[in-house]
């Protein structure tokens, strides 16, 4: 088999598949193999490693040069590492792939054809049909992992179908709010339009919820997102609401911080006041939990306070982008 994209070619690939790793050596051989085995679309594959302590950096070498390795000197977080990979890539589309996600061989081709089709010029991102994966080979189960992101009226976000039996659910193409970062497919021009001082993905998020933030920003900029169920992948989801107490303290801290950062970046005053009662009620629950059973997440609030001036400036930057997009002919 011939692996990957010929790096020496002057022709840009259709899709840049960017995988961010952090101590992901167990799953990388499977996810990278599924990336380089894509057919029907010209793909380049980049692995961006966040200073892993395991054998993650050695995984790329197994593919004979078909996977380009970008080794970061320190852990910059998922969002910043993904930004580095996007900047180092050249495809018309970007597929942000988690190291614990396995693509079916035509995943990239299905989404490329759909977004290249007539009437899709304003489609900035797309989601495939993601199933839960299990075992060392990331075998696909019959349980859904994500059929795209949905937002509630108060700004919370969930993966549609997560944890549900897949039979009969979400089998038709439709417009959705955003795509899961486990295998998010983005038009490069949409990413460029949404880029802010902290990157395509907001590096302030570090990890967790950065996909929802980008989805919200893209939507406000007028880009649509499509759910295309014929593009299939399998994802081993480690962090879920019901497993919160088993998640790392770092992940929980950023989850709390990013809950508020998501709204600071994107929510209008009208959206806030329209949903103030459920929003503030949920905030009170989060604050109470951090003050009692999850005190390791309390630094999230001091981080938000210390960075309040910079966050206000970033909010103004995002609002200016949205206003300029609406005024454009």
The whole-angstrom separation of Cα 70 and Cα 20 is 9
How many residues make up the chain in this entry? 329
Packing angle between helix 78-87 and helix 210-220, nearest 10 degrees?
Answer: 60
**pLDDT given for residue 7 in this prediction:** 45
**pLDDT given for residue 253 in this prediction:** 92
**pLDDT given for residue 152 in this prediction:** 87
**pLDDT given for residue 6 in this prediction:** 45
Residue 180, pLDDT > 90, answer: yes
Residue 28, pLDDT > 90, answer: yes
Residue 323, pLDDT > 70, answer: yes
The whole-angstrom separation of Cα 228 and Cα 174 is 7
The mean pLDDT of 268-295, rounded to a whole number, is 90
Measured CA distances, 54 to 23, 27, 184, 195, 208 (Å): 5, 12, 26, 32, 22
The whole-angstrom separation of Cα 46 and Cα 52 is 16
Residue 288: which residues within 8 A CB-CB, separation 6 or more? Answer: none
pLDDT digits (tens, 9 = 90+) for 215-255: 999 999 999 999 999 999 999 987 655 555 666 888 889 99
**pLDDT given for residue 243 in this prediction:** 56
Per the model's pLDDT, the better-predicted residue between 325 and 183 turns out to be 183
**pLDDT given for residue 11 in this prediction:** 67
When the pLDDT of each residue in the chain is averaged and rounded to a whole number, the result is 92
The whole-angstrom separation of Cα 317 and Cα 243 is 35
Domains of the chain in start order, with CATH, are 15-241 (3.90.550.10), 244-327 (no CATH)
Residue 328: count of CB within 10 angstroms of its CB: 7
């Amino acid at each position: 088999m011939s692996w990957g994209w010929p790096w020496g070619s002057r022709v840009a690939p259709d899709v840049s598949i960017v995988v961010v790793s952090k101590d992901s050596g167990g799953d990388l051989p499977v996810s990278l193999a599924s990336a380089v085995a894509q057919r029907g679309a010209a793909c380049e594959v980049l692995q961006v490693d966040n200073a892993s302590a395991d054998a993650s950096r050695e995984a790329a070498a197994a593919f004979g040069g078909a996977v380009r390795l970008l080794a970061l000197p320190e852990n910059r977080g998922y969002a910043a590492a993904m930004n580095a990979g996007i900047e180092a890539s050249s495809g018309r589309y970007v597929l942000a792939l988690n190291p614990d996600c396995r693509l079916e061989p035509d995943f990239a081709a299905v989404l490329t054809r759909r977004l290249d089709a007539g009437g899709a010029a304003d489609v900035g991102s797309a989601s495939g049909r993601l199933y839960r994966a299990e075992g060392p080979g990331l075998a696909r189960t019959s349980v859904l992992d994500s059929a795209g992101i949905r937002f509630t009226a108060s700004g919370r976000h969930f993966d549609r179908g997560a944890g549900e039996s897949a039979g009969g659910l979400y089998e038709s193409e439709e417009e959705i709010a955003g795509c899961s970062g486990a295998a998010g497919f983005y038009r490069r021009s949409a990413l460029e339009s949404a880029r802010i001082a902290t990157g395509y993905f907001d590096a302030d998020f570090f990890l967790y919820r950065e996909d929802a933030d980008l989805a919200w920003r893209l939507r406000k900029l007028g880009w649509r997102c499509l759910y295309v169920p014929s593009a299939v992948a399998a994802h081993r989801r480690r962090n879920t609401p019901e497993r919160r107490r088993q998640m790392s303290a770092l992940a929980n801290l950023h989850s709390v911080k990013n809950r508020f950062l998501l709204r600071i970046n994107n929510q209008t005053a009208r959206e806030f006041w329209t949903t103030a009662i459920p929003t503030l009620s949920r905030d009170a629950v989060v604050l109470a939990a951090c003050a009692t059973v999850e005190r390791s997440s309390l630094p999230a609030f001091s981080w938000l306070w210390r960075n309040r001036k910079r966050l206000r400036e970033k909010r103004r930057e995002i609002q200016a982008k949205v206003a300029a997009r609406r005024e454009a002919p």
